[in-house]
Amino acid sequence: MKLVLLSGGSGKRLWPLSNDARSKQFLKVLPSEQGRAMSMVQRVWRQMESLGLADQSFICTSRAQVDIIESQLGDVPVIVEPERRDTFPAVALISAYLLDVVGAPDDEVVAILPVDPYVEEAYFQAIVALERALADSDAEMALLGVRPEFATSKFGYLRVGRDDGGASGVLNVAAFVEKPPIELAEQLLGEGALWNCGVFCFRLGYLRSILQGRGLPWTYSGILDAYGSLPARSFDYEVVEQAAKIVAIAYSGTWKDLGTWETLSEEMEHPFAGIGTAVDCEDTHVINELSIPVVTMGLKNAVVVASPDGVLVAEKGYTSALKDVVKPFSGRPMYEERYWGNYRVFDYSRLADGTEVLVRNVELFSGKNLSYQQHARRTEMWTVVEGSGDLILNNRMTELQPGDVVQVFAGMWHAVRAHDHLVFVEVQRGLSLDEEDIVRRFENWDEIVAHCAVLS
């Protein structure tokens, strides 16, 4: 059995920390046994490792999230989407990857699950049991449902019937109800319906046959080539709800969607993180990512979040509507984690003549390097603040020390590697400061050095 975590979206309901570059599953705000805050994806992967499931697991994500996954989890198996679309194209890509690249057989069972649930380890044990539910029931699809603790309109529901064929704990799925009004939710609760937690399990050959039957690409290379033209619809609508026979297993443990500041703050270990203080505050959580203090006084049931991308001050009950409120403010991400380190933007401006200027702080982890690259439409100036490293500029290597200043003109090939924790302030100036103005030649440092040795 294979398990695949779906990691997508930007989680704008957790603005200003979450954005297109740092989705909600990567925010390090949850407590850990080691005393250091960890992210949702780190917590989930650690749980899977403790149960021996990580060796058979993968993460499916967009190209923009690959670096931050490597930064937080290390070298884990990743299936990369060519572009962000809905879950139907993603699951089609996953299935073809497992069949064609991994070499899994048609009868291999795969479970698809979200990357960011707040759950107990029993949740993953229930997911493993879905494989047996498929075999015992001869169903096309097996789902995991959560026994509701209360009636709510925030989740979808599974209407379930009798145990299937006497199989222990296996229920027939009779219907799907998507985020019902509270009156219907209360009725569903009385009927014994389950929350639909977005976990589905099937055999790989089943999905391949569906793709073939609809005349869609069904090989990994074919799906990659046609990814942008696949239906941008949810897998639930395109496949799950169309299946002839669906069963479910009920999970009765902890399951939370930490998608708003109100729900996320319930699991935060400390009410204040960062520089500053809170005075006479009740049920109030503060996260300050800035280098200046934040002081709160007399607040009740509030959340205050300060980051380079913005500042949020809200009563917790209002935060479920945050996504729509911040739509006009979705500009350039001011903070990103990469596999080599991270950067934080201090300032960005556009001059009257169209020239862009950006100032950022760059941290490079020990032994990591930036790729060998050049820019056509901008210059960069680096001032080394801390640490040491090697600089390659137009094929020539020099050593970097605190206080060194480096100027990289347009067209210059350059790369840098950290001996120890290397920090430098970078000023970019030019007509285009986006990713389109980066041409990369080598990623591996040994390859960069070998290439420069040949040319020197």
- Supply the pLDDT for residue 35: 66
**Is residue 422 in a domain?**
yes
Both 376 and 228 in one domain: the answer is no
- The answer as to whether 129 is a domain residue is yes
Q: Is residue 321 part of a domain?
A: no
What pLDDT sits at residue 403? 96
Number of domains in the chain: 3
* Residues 370, 222 share a domain: no
pLDDT tens-digit series, residues 240-267: 988 989 999 999 999 988 888 998 999 8
C-alpha 15/C-alpha 37 separation (Å) is 18
Q: Answer with the one of 212, 232, 257 that is the final residue of a domain.
A: 257
Q: Would residue 360 count as lying in a domain?
A: yes
Question: Which CATH number fits the domain that encloses residue 92?
Answer: 3.90.550.10
Burial of 237 (0-12, 13-18, 19+ CB in 10 A): middle
- Return the structure tokens found at 282: 């009740």
pLDDT digits (tens, 9 = 90+) for 332-383: 788 888 889 999 998 889 999 999 999 999 999 999 999 999 999 999 999 9
Residue 133: closest CA among 155, 103, 105, 160: 160
Domain co-membership, 81 together with 194? yes
CA dist 239 to 58, 231, 290, 341, Å?
21, 12, 45, 40
Q: What is the C-alpha to C-alpha distance for residues 18 and 25, in angstroms, rounded to an integer? A: 9
Tell me: do 247 and 274 sit in the same domain.
Answer: no
Q: What is the CATH number of the domain that holds 387?
A: 2.60.120.10
CA distances, 278 to each of 300, 313, 421 (Å): 11, 14, 32
User: Do 183 and 79 lie in a common domain?
Assistant: yes
- What is the structure's pLDDT at 369? 95
Domain span holding position 416: 340-455
If asked whether residues 207 and 293 sit together in one domain, one would say no
Residues with Cβ within 8 Å of 96's Cβ and at least 6 positions away in sequence, in order, are: 208, 217, 218, 219, 220, 222, 223
Given a cut of 70, the residues of the chain with pLDDT beneath it are 9-11, 33-35, 162-168, 454-456
Co-location of 242 and 160 in the same domain: yes
Say if residue 64 is in the same domain as residue 205.
yes
- Predicted confidence at residue 169, as pLDDT, reads 79
Residue type at position 169: G
8 A C-beta contact, residue 393 and residue 412: yes
Given this model, what pLDDT does residue 163 score? 55
**Residue-level pLDDT at 165:** 45
If asked whether residues 306 and 221 sit together in one domain, one would say: no
Residue 407 burial (10 A CB sphere; 0-12, 13-18, 19+): exposed
Q: Tokens 């309901």 correspond to what residue? A: 13
Identify whether 44 is part of a domain: yes
Residue at 262 is within a domain: no
Can you give the length of the chain in residues? 456
The reported pTM is 0.84
* Beta strand 246-251 pairing with 141-146: parallel
In a domain, 144, yes or no: yes
Amino acid at 247: V
Within a domain: 329: no
- Same domain membership, residue 246 and residue 204: yes
Same domain, 182 and 88: yes
Q: Answer yes or no: do 48 and 23 share one domain.
A: yes
